[in-house]
Chains A and B, each alone.
Chain A
Amino acid sequence: MVSDHYGNFLGSFRNLINTTLEPLSRITTLPSQAQTWYLESIKDQAQIEKELLKLRTENLILKSELQLKDSLEMEVARLQRLLGTTGRMDKQTLLIANILRYSSNPISQHLIINKGRLDGVKTSQPVIDSDGVLGQIINVNPTTSTVLLLTDQKHQIPVRIQRTGQRGILTGNGYNQVNLDYIPSNASVEPGDKLISSGIGGVFPSGYPVATVTEVQPLDGSSYLQITAEPVAKIHSSYEVLILSDASKSNE
């Protein structure tokens, strides 16, 4: 126990158990897979066509926004060169993964995804979905890996408030809630404020949306506010996630 706590000496042992358990966990996901397959198969064609139309429209809108984004990115790079602060927007490469199963219970919040060491996944890579940051990879097996969700009690992520730039640390607090710590009681925080990753820890890249503040409470006798927030990522309903990796690092 001591060697597991103070060093990752037993990481390979943990991986061994995980890999041997993999067939079992695949079997246990069969019923839910059968259910989704059945629901897919009874969808009628009109519904599918409607969905296709919706996706096409969405694609068109997103592409037009992307055109703007490219020119804006160049503009930002030019301005940053003028200011002498280069390289703040790192290029990220993406890897798409499917969620095999979730785990949400009083003592741990994590996901198992279907990409592993054979696909080039490494530990402490950030994982996002279409809306925001989900968590980071803590354990890599040959074909699967474990993602610790940002709502887990053991997970912390450095963030800043988008409106004011105030920095804090976001700690998981169970099912679908996170706490924002280390915000002084004289800071300006309101419910509805967006929290984005600040990139200070070096694990999460800067600028990704993380959570929205839901409640701000001053604590008597404490110099910090008690702030609760809700993750923007669809933690319990997304089934495809993106694994980010630093393009500059992977080229080395």
Chain B
Amino acid sequence: MSNKFHDINFSQVSILVIVSYLVAISLTIITLNNPVLSFLPPFGLLVVLFWSLQLINSNHLVTAMLIGLVYDVLYITLLGSHALIFILVLFFMLRVRLRLRSYPLWQQGIFVGIYFFIYQLLHFLFFSPSFIETSPLFYWLMPVSAVFIWPALVVTLRALSNKFSTI
């Protein structure tokens, strides 16, 4: 299997796309109840970024907004605030996505880590989180964990979507 993205249309993997978003939201709900788990990146945004690299025919901004609204409801924040950050991060990604597609996985991971650092910075400014029980270390470790989760996510979802598109 090569490291390159194959050209796949949305119609070929539509079920997988929807299921991946549902799984991402479920994982987010699980991470809600433990302050220590705040070192995990927002899975919804990770999956949006993956599909924006995989399906280059559309710009996924509306999807990012919808997933962001779901995050706003889950975290009881101002409706649209997570959505705004999601759209911003996705916009940075869209600017370079054609170049990013040709990079090896670890290099993509580092880029994604930088994007998630920007995300966390905006998150910190928007919501002013409190760190009573958890140390801020977990919170700021989030971009680092995104660097390691990204290759795993890409390998899994790419294998699945190759399987789906060849059926």
- Give chain B residues whose Cβ lies under 8 Å from the Cβ of A24: 22, 25-26, 29
- Give chain B residues whose Cβ lies under 8 Å from the Cβ of A17: 69-70, 73
A side interface size, CB within 8 A = 32
Q: How far is the CA of A17 from the CA of B66 in the complex (A)?
A: 10
- Give chain A residues whose Cβ lies under 8 Å from the Cβ of B131: 106, 174
Are B25 and A21 closer than 8 Å at their CB atoms? yes
Which of A13, A27, A148 is the one whose CB lies under 8 Å from B79? Answer: A13
Are A108 and B77 closer than 8 Å at their CB atoms? yes
Which of B26, B29, B79, B132 is the one whose CB lies under 8 Å from A177? Answer: B132
Given A13-B79, A106-B139, A176-B133 contact (CB < 8 Å) = yes
Are A173 and B132 closer than 8 Å at their CB atoms? yes
- Give chain B residues whose Cβ lies under 8 Å from the Cβ of A175: 35, 130, 132-134
The number of inter-chain residue pairs (CB within 8 angstroms) is 92
Are A148 and B76 closer than 8 Å at their CB atoms? yes
Are B133 and A174 closer than 8 Å at their CB atoms? yes
Flag whether B34 is at the interface (Cβ < 8 A): yes
- Give chain B residues whose Cβ lies under 8 Å from the Cβ of A148: 76
Are A138 and B29 closer than 8 Å at their CB atoms? no
Are A1 and B75 closer than 8 Å at their CB atoms? no
Q: How far is the CA of A148 from the CA of B77 in the complex (A)?
A: 12
CB distance from B115 to the nearest CB of A (A): 20
Flag whether B167 is at the interface (Cβ < 8 A): no
A31 to B, closest residue via Cβ: B30
Are A1 and B84 closer than 8 Å at their CB atoms? yes
CB distance from B129 to the nearest CB of A (A): 3
> Which residues of chain A from 212 to 244 have a CB within 8 Å of any chain B CB?
none
Flag whether A4 is at the interface (Cβ < 8 A): yes
- Give chain A residues whose Cβ lies under 8 Å from the Cβ of B137: none
Which of A's residues lie within 8 Å of B, judged by CB? 1, 4-5, 10, 13-14, 17-18, 21, 24-25, 27-28, 101-108, 110, 138-139, 146, 148, 153, 173-177
